Chain A
Amino acid sequence: MSQAEAIYALWLREFKVFTREKSRIVSSIFTPMLWIFVFGGGLGSAINIGNVNYQIFIYPGILVMSVLFSSVFFGVYVIWDRKIDILKAILVAPLSRTTIFVGKVLGGCTDSMIQALIMLLVSFILGIYLTVSSFLLAITILFLLALSLVSTGLIIGSLMESPEGFNMIISFLIFPLFFFSGALFPIDNLPIWLSFITYINPVTYGVDALRMAIIGVSQFPLYVDLIVLTGFAVVMFTIGTRTFERMK
């Protein structure tokens, strides 16, 4: 019971911080909008993928991108908490490390899902008609992704000691996960090296499933996507709780 309340308190802290740092929300929505309306709109005026307009084709990919960025970054913000000693105050409270991890993960997922919801509203502007079931499916997929990626960010954040490695994470983790995910191109006819990397990238399955949910096109059967995403979430969540237990 008290653990549940502690988790709630940990979540509440993250949520309050999120609602007070409005610049974080605005900036995290702004870049995906550029991708959809400038990059997607521009190329879309000339290109169709199959019989889907390019702008519509990359829309699910950009949704995944926004969740990818905000989720991983949320985790890495632990380094700031450590730097300003807020983390120390939490670590010294009578809470188990698992409790702390769960509270943080839920906080991060909430941030990412609020952004995802705003991004989902863009579908109306693009003229995409979402049924209730496809909307719920999209939310589920994005939540699974947020869960795994917030965990991933927290793992990295708990292992890193200074915020100087931030750029490394963008260059060597977030961008590769995004570019090798098929967010921007179809993955059925790629050169072997590219297709290999794309297939082992779990984010690919998130993009694929979301494309199925939103525009009805996909490379893999939906159940394959969901199994991979669930597996990814379980693995990252488990590793996350373990690393938090060892964190100093």
Chain B
Amino acid sequence: MDNAIKTINLTKKFKDITAVEDLNVEIKQGEIFGLLGPNGAGKTTTISMLCTILKPTEGSAQVNGYDILKEPEKVRKSIGIVFQQPSVDDILTGLENLRLHAMWYGVPKETRKNRIDEVLELVGLQSRQNSLVKTYSGGMRRRLELARGLLHLPNVLFLDEPTLGLDPQTREHIWKYIEKMSREREMTIVLTTHYMEEADNLCDRVAIIDQGKIVVMDAPDSLKEKVGGDIVYLKTTAADTNKFKEIEEVSKIEKKDDCIILTVKNAGEHLQEILEISGKVERVEVRSASLEDVFINYTGKEIRAETGEGGIVQRIIKERTVR
């Protein structure tokens, strides 16, 4: 089995809104795969369909070789899920949460205790295992969820915005756990995120998704290469933008307010030429391309422009008011 996940024209419509449209993805066993996109892009809807929480309107998918429509229980048994909203039981202790979960997933009695100890150690919650979850911090809850998702040794682990609303330190901890799991267990990990750094740091491959469609899909480095070089910001109003075309390495010229944004291959080597053309500038900034630039490149907008919580609901409301 090479593909852990394969979707075939996977589509989900909510009334007149298409949340996910004709999604065709193949995710290899052991891969860390990221769905990157703004809120409302269809990431959670995609994961929900793969986890058999939502039924697709059209198309289908296979997870671990099981059809999500025909064998939902087998799919559910072979996957682990960490939801965007914590779904651990507040009024139970961490240990109790894990014990119940083990029974629901049919983890054999003999191995149960060992498994629980193992995952508790992995996320560093042994010392707090007997405290009620309502006394946990946000990061601890997320770690407990992660432990729970791993308890039954799933082949595929789904993480829906695993570090949403966490402080940078906790985020890095969680990234480490995710990498460790993928490395040690050859577990396939599918995560959604709207944090560029997260996708960049963690994922073997990233699919940029916008308005329910995959815009582009590749390894983060290849994606960044596709931008065509480094980004150079020039704060100036004087320069004639057309003149930059004389430099062969400049692949894209954009004017925004009082800034000129150039995409330049090996910008560091051509800075002299650029500055000669531009004349006097107030400020220069050179940086290598990020996934943010990839996103802008392919969708023509910034990912951060769409903030606000919630996804599809917001889009429905928005589209309604437009009418």
A binding-site residues for B, Cβ under 8 Å: 2, 5-6, 8-10, 12-13, 16-17, 20-21, 84-86, 88-96, 248
Contact = CB atoms under 8 A, between A and B. Distances in A.
B91 A17 contact: yes
Contacts of A84: 87, 90
Interface string B91-133: 1100010011101111000000000000000000000000000
Contact of B77 (A12, A90, A94): A94
Contact of B83 (A6, A21, A89): A89
A94 B86 contact: no
Interface string B175-204: 000000000000000000000000000000
A5 B52 CA distance: 23
Interface of B: 51-54, 73-74, 76-77, 81, 83, 85-92, 96, 99-101, 103-106
B106 A94 contact: yes
A129 B76 CA distance: 54
6 contacts: A16-B91, A16-B96, A21-B91, A88-B87, A94-B73, A94-B105
Contacts of B96: 16
A9 B101 CA distance: 8
A13 to B, nearest CB: 5
A16 B85 contact: no
A92 B51 contact: yes
Nearest to B79: A92
Contacts of B85: 85
B103 A5 contact: yes
Contact of A90 (B52, B83, B99, B104): B104
B53 A6 contact: no
B104 A95 contact: yes
A86 B103 CA distance: 16
A89 B91 CA distance: 15
A91 B100 contact: no
Interface of A is mostly: helix
Contacts of B77: 94
A13 B83 contact: no
B312 to A, nearest CB: 14
Nearest to B108: A2
Q: Which of A9, A10, A12, A93 has the most CB of B within 10 A?
A: A93
A17 B133 CA distance: 13
Contacts of B54: 248
Q: Which of A6, A9, A94 has the most CB of B within 10 A?
A: A94
A111 B85 CA distance: 28
Contact of B104 (A20, A88, A94, A248): A94
Contact of B81 (A13, A92, A96, A248): A92
B53 A92 contact: yes
Given A94-B76, A94-B105, A94-B106, A20 B91 contact: yes
A93 B91 contact: no
Nearest to A19: B91
Nearest to A87: B87
A85 B83 CA distance: 9
A86 B104 contact: no
Contacts of B92: 13, 16-17
Contacts of B51: 92
A21 B87 CA distance: 19
B133 to A, nearest CB: 11
Given A16-B96, A92-B53, A6 B86 contact: no
A212 B86 CA distance: 50
Given A89-B83, A91-B53, A92-B53, A13 B106 contact: no
Given A6-B103, A9-B99, 9 more contacts: A5-B103, A12-B100, A16-B91, A85-B83, A89-B88, A90-B104, A93-B105, A94-B104, A95-B104
Nearest to A91: B53
Contacts of B100: 9, 12-13
B106 A85 contact: no
A92 B160 CA distance: 14
A9 B104 contact: yes
